[in-house]
Amino acid sequence: MMKNFKSKFIKCLKFFTFIILGVYLIYLFVLPPVFSSRIFKNKYDDFVYAKTGVKIKSEHLKVKTHPDLSVDIIADRINLDTDSEDLVQAKNIDVTFNPLKKDIKKLNIDYIY
């Protein structure tokens, strides 16, 4: 009886370890290219415009994930404007944050006008 319980416990432990490892590898290697793609960039832009009325134009937007679960968002240029005026233009943006802790570790912007 105890031997049967041990073998089932070990099988369940292996299964959950495999699932957790799979999710972690997807986070590291699959999500960055998906979130950096043009399709998702257009969805972000449309979502922000629908909620705030601000248009976002970005060049060379990249999302990178790290083993410590932090995320880098890097862009060469981001423009924020409304239908009537330009609000902000920024060059060489690099933001690092941890989505679990909801804090920004690093924020670098070379030029804002």
* pLDDT tens-digit map of 17-70: 999 999 999 999 999 999 999 898 888 888 988 988 889 888 888 999 999 999
Residue (of 73, 70, 69, 64) closest to 24 by Cα position: 69
The domain of 36 spans 2-112
- Model confidence pTM above 0.95: no
Number of domains the chain is built from = 1
